[in-house]
Amino acid sequence: MSLTGKTIGELTFLAEPTNNTLIPVELSGVTYHIAYSGITNNLGNTGSWTVTPGTNNYSFTVDINNTYNLWVLANIPNGIIVYNATVSVSNSNVPVIGVQYAWNYTGGGSPILFTSIPVQIIGTAGAISTTSPDVGTSTNTFVFGIQNNTVSGLTVNYGYVKVS
């Protein structure tokens, strides 16, 4: 029995589903429809900031009790900033365990730069950490200092994927 009464070969190919695309699923002989967004929204979140001229802070917040891959990226003429991290967030008032990396491209006049990256991420490879530094409140919010040395707003993309 097929879900739509058609075989796979008879179905029209959909090259790019949208968030409104419905996907048929059969369970115990009953056909249900699941929105594509209901499947993909669990995979991660993305967004962008319009970084204004000067130095300002930009942030995003994740849920506690999960592990994530985080990223921030801007690639503009003569300027690149790249950040990635893998973190485990257990609670919003204790440090986050993980590792993070950031890079500023400075060969093109430095129109955009990281000035700071999240301070609440701790950990040393191959070691058990027992330190509990004062990292402020809401350690599930990741704050980035970004300097825009141009006269207009620049787009910086960010996102995270829940690993567990």
pLDDT tier for residue 36 given thresholds of 50, 70 and 90: low
Mean pLDDT, all residues of the chain: 87
Q: For a pLDDT cut of 90, what percent of the chain falls above it?
A: 66
pTM of the entire predicted model: 0.75
Angle at 55 between CA 51 and CA 60, to 5 degrees: 55
pLDDT in tens, 119-162: 999 999 899 998 887 777 799 999 999 999 999 999 999 999 99
Residue 8 has pLDDT above 70, yes or no: no
Q: What is the DSSP string of 52-103?
A: PSEEEEEEEE--SSEEEEEEEEEEETTEEEEEEEEEEE--TTSPEEEEEEEE
Q: Which residue has the higher pLDDT, 117 or 13?
A: 117
pLDDT in tens, 76-85: 999 999 999 9
| Segment holding 50, helix H or strand E | strand 44-51
Q: What is the pLDDT of residue 12?
A: 74
Distance CA 104, CA 76 (A): 12
Q: What does DSSP say about strands 96-105 and 121-122: parallel, antiparallel, or unpaired?
A: parallel
Structural domains of the chain, with CATH: 8-40 (no CATH), 44-162 (2.60.40)
Q: What is the pLDDT of residue 1?
A: 41
Distance CA 83, CA 71 (A): 5
What average pLDDT does the segment 26-38 reach?
A: 70
HSE toward the beta carbon, residue 31, CA cutoff 13 A? 8
Residue 4 has pLDDT above 90, yes or no: no
| Segment holding 121, helix H or strand E | strand 121-122
112 exposure class (CB count in 10 Å sphere: 0-12, 13-18, 19+): buried
Residue 41 has pLDDT above 60, yes or no: no
Residue 2 has pLDDT above 80, yes or no: no
